[in-house]
Structure 1
Amino acid sequence: MEKHFKRTFMALCLAALLMPGMAHAQKAGYVPAPENLKARKEFSDNKFGIFLHWGIYSLFGQGEWYLNSGGLNCHEYAKAASAFYPSRFNASEWVKAIKEAGARYICITTRHHDGFSMFDTKYSDYNIVDATPFGRDVIKELADECHKQGIKLHLYYSHLDWTREDYYPLGNTGHRTGRKNHGNWESYYEFMNNQLTELLTNYGEIGAIWFDGVWDKPDFDWRLGEQYAMIHRLQPACLIGNNHHRAPVEGEDFQMFERDLPGENTAGLSDESEIGSLPLETCQTMNGMWGYKVSDQNYKSDTTLVRLLVRAAGKGANLLMNIGPQPDGQLPAVALERLKSMGKWLSEYGETVYATTAGDVMTAEWGTTTRSGNKLYVHILADDMPKMILLPLKGKVKSAVLFDTGKKISHENVSGGVVLHTADLTPAIDRIITLTVK
Structure 2
Amino acid sequence: MNLSPKALILILSVLLLNSCTKPKSQVPYWLNDYQESYQQSPVEANKQWFKDAKFGMFIHLNLASLCENGRDDYFIWKKGNASDQLLKYVGIDRTTYESSNNKDSLLFQKYSLKNFDADKICQLAKKAKMKYITFTTHHLGGCYNFNTSLSDRNSLNAPCKKDLVQELSIACKKHGIALFMYVPPHISHTNKEEYEHNKKYLTELLTQYGDIAGIWFDGIGGYYRDPSKYTHLHELHQLVKDLQPHALVSFKEGAVGDEDFISPEHFMLPFNYSWDNPGITKRFNIRQKRWNGKQSKLWDKFNATKLREINTVMLECAGRDDTHAGGGWINDDSAIHYTATQVYGWLNYSRATGSNMLMNIGICKDGSIHPDDTKALAQVGEIIEAKGWPEVHNEL
In structure 2, what is the equivalent of residue 12 of structure 1? Answer: none
Query: Is residue 2:218 matched to residue 1:212?
Result: yes
Residue pair 1:111, 1:117 contacting (<8 A) in 2 also: yes
Among residues 230, 241, 248, which one is paired with 2:239 in the alignment? 230
Offset from partner CA, 1:295-353 (integer Å, 9 cap, x none): 11x12232221121022112110000010010111100000011111110122333x45
Matched position secondary structure for 2:369 = coil
- Partner secondary structure for residue 252 of structure 1: coil
Match of 1:36 in 2: 43
* 1:304-323 map, 5 Å: 304-323=342-361
**3-state DSSP of counterpart to 1:268:** helix
Give identity over the alignment, percent: 27
For the aligned residue pairs, the C-alpha RMSD in angstroms reads 2.6
Could you report, residue by residue, the CA deviation over 1:245-302 in whole angstroms, capped at 9, with x for unpaired residues? 4x45232100111111342554639737324211100001111210101111x12232
C-alpha distance in 1 between matches for 2:144 and 2:355: 30
Equivalent residue for 1:57, pick from 53, 61, 64: 64
Among candidates 110, 126, 143, match of residue 116 of structure 1 = 143
SS, match of residue 309 in structure 2: strand
Q: Give me the whole-angstrom Cα distance separating, in 2, the residues matched to 1:196 and 1:84.
A: 24
Residues 28-427 of structure 1 mapped to structure 2, 5 A cutoff: 34-64=41-71, 66-68=73-75, 72=79, 75-130=102-157, 132-160=158-186, 185-218=191-224, 219=226, 220-222=228-230, 223-243=232-252, 245=253, 247-263=254-270, 265-266=284-285, 268=287, 271=291, 273=296, 274=299, 275-288=303-316, 289-296=328-335, 298-350=336-388, 352-353=389-390, 358-359=392-393
In structure 2, the CA distance between the partners of 1:81 and 1:227, relative to structure 1 (3 Å rule), is same
- Does structure 1 conserve the Cα–Cα contact (< 8 Å) formed by 2:189 and 2:229? no
Code of the aligned partner of 2:384:
L
- Gapped runs of 5+ residues in structure 2? 1-33, 35-39, 81-100, 272-283, 317-327
Gaps of 5+ in 1: 1-19, 21-32, 162-166, 170-184, 363-369, 372-438
> What is the rounded CA distance, in whole Å, between the counterparts of 2:162 and 2:222 in structure 1?
31
More helix by share: 2
Amino acid at match of 1:201: T
d(CA) in 2 for partners of 1:168 and 1:302? Answer: 38
Aligned counterparts of 2:168 and 2:269: Cα–Cα separation in 1: 30
Match of 1:263, as an amino acid? P
- Are the structure 2 counterparts of residues 330 and 146 from structure 1 closer, same or farther at C-alpha, using a change threshold of 3 Å? same
Q: Which amino acid aligns with 2:380?
A: M
Are 1:160 and 1:214, in contact at CA under 8 Å, matched by a contact in 2?
A: no
Which stretch of structure 1 is more off in the superposition, 189-198 or 73-82?
A: 73-82
TM-score by length of 1: 0.64
